[in-house]
Structure 1
């Protein structure tokens, strides 16, 4: 009975498209329909709902208050339907599909460049990556696993350690030379870049270096490591970042490591996955490959000279 209140999807799509363009004609062009067909679908939707969604003003259409409210409510539902459809279509041609939630910088800087090897080893496996910043309920979200930063605690899930987070101070060569940075204490007197999710990092680094300063919490604040590293590349300040996130910048010289001293964080990176999906071969394959890649990355870091 509840579904009886749901209008046909074609009518909802026509309404959303017309509202977005404020035009039946432009909506018709996008949907590859005639202007009359779009107008008719919207009219049928209005008749079904018993309210006017648009006011017709000369050659234009303008949302009514009811239409504006309805558009706000159904747009999210249409986006979810689109995402669900694309996701299920990804199963075509794959024996199994893995849906993984990733942290944005980890996914961009560390995971994405390595995925070609996983695909080479498991060519029949499909892989969908989506960004999630916070832990979620695996029962409510369609994910088989997630990259997690923090403590190895996730309700109803197994947490496999990948590697700890160890941050190093970096800046552009021009920034270093301009400010004459030669000792750890010099960093207390230059612009520093802060990461919102690691508010104590600079204070802990200064404490470890034996530098006393009241300015440890000062500096521009950023939400993600990828933003803070780009700001550092463009001379905005010194930054504390995980070395494996800036390997490319260090190798190219766009960033330089200011001092050999690093700061080991208590938190670490984990691959977490629901206990009830441990038997799926694609989950096991991805887990094993990810742990192997993380182990290799740790060994490379341990043998690499400071720089």
Structure 2
């Protein structure tokens, strides 16, 4: 069945005329005559069955329908242009569209990604942040790097590492002390991670403690937000060291008590690939590299891999 879509030339002419609010300026931009622009707009109005412009002696003005349509068309034409430029820019290379949790992407993955690019210059990895699970069929993503459960429908998942957090805070918050016990930590404001609401309860519970208000305190969606709040002395937070290594090295954050807690149900990082793409050469290369990087990191950091 033929699609109900007007000609591309008419849409481009309309978008330019709407942006300039002038047929003359649109003609100049597109290197056409003003009459050609008029014909394209007229054909588009006939196709749609609505009036897009009001013609007056002083020029043209968009109608309400024209304004609404111009906004939608501009967005779609921009998207088509971006995709076209992306395809033109590949020049035989392969791209991977990767969905990744934000702080892990900036603090752990990106500092290592240059090595993958050196080993595989023919593969471009594009990163977009996603904090929640999704269906690959509803997106353009090829692969996801997710922290949580691995049971996504229609996918293969590959374990990378567990998420092991420690309490951290600004040194000024507990000065002149540098170390605290769990009871002392319980008296401080407890910063919460909204996607890990039981983190403090589990941490205190692993020490045999029940703390009133262990789920109270300001909540933040991202670890980067949690780290910023802790650095500004707003309280103590539970954060994986791999996400704040620079802050720890520079002592903008300190670990007041060296106690971690890990159980079989704790969150872990997984590489998740749709079943239909598991044999992709580019994804296989990325998988092999990423699994090895995770293994090396866990050995150096003395973390459990399973």
Q: TM-score range by the shorter chain?
A: 0.7 to 0.9
**Does structure 2 conserve the Cα–Cα contact (< 8 Å) formed by 1:100 and 1:146?**
yes
The answer to whether structure 1 residue 297 and structure 2 residue 297 are counterparts is yes
Separation (CA, whole Å) in 2 of partners of 1:216 and 1:80:
46
CA separation in 2, counterparts of 1:194 and 1:123?
40
SS in 2 for 1:163: strand
Please list the CA deviations of residues 90-114 of structure 1 after superposition, one character each: whole Å capped at 9, or x if unmatched: 42242x3322221222211111110
SS of the equivalent of 2:233 reads coil
Which residue is equivalent to 1:285?
A: 285
In structure 2, runs of 5+ residues without a counterpart are: none
CA contact (8 A) 1:22 1:61 kept: no
The whole-number CA distance in structure 1 between the counterparts of 2:217 and 2:243 is: 21
Aligned residue number for residue 239 of structure 1 = 237
SS in 2 for 1:115: helix
String of CA shifts for 1:174-221, please: whole Å, max 9, x gaps: 123289972222233322321111111122222223343321222221
In structure 2, what is the Cα distance between the partners aligned to 1:266 and 1:222?
19
Larger Rg: 2
Distance 1:253 1:113 in 2: 20
- The CA distance in 1 between the partners of 2:246 and 2:33, in whole Å, is 52
Contact 2:20 2:26 in 1 (8 A): no
Contact conserved, 1:168 with 1:243, CA < 8 A, in 2?
yes
Of the structure 1 ranges 146-155 and 65-74, higher mean CA displacement relative to structure 2 is found in 65-74
Taking a change above 3 Å as real, the CA distance of residues 267 and 32 of structure 1, as seen in their structure-2 partners, is same
1:99 and 2:97 equivalent? yes
Partners of 1:237 and 1:29 in 2: CA distance: 60
5+ residue gaps in structure 1? none
Q: How big is the alpha-carbon RMSD for the aligned residues of Structure 1 and Structure 2?
A: 3.5
Deviation of 1:262 (Å): 1.4
- Is residue 117 of structure 2 the alignment partner of residue 136 of structure 1? no
Structure 1, residues 11-58: CA drift from partner, whole Å, max 9, x if none?
A: 445655666x68559x86996779969974656544442323456799
SS of match in other structure, 1:209: coil
Secondary structure of the equivalent of 1:293? helix
Give TM-score, length-normalised by structure 1.
0.81
1:195-234 equivalence runs, <5 A: 195-234=193-232
TM-score where L is the length of structure 2: 0.81
Q: Say whether 1:110 aligns with 2:108.
A: yes
Measure, in 2, the Cα distance between the counterparts of 1:221 and 1:60.
54
Q: 2: CA distance between counterparts of 1:236 and 1:30?
A: 57
The structure-2 alpha-carbon separation of the partners of 1:302 and 1:43, relative to structure 1 and needing over 3 Å to count, comes to: same
- The answer to whether the 8 A contact 1:22-1:62 is kept is no
> Match of 2:120?
122
Secondary structure of the residue aligned to 2:291 is: helix
Give the aligned partner of residue 269 of structure 1: 269
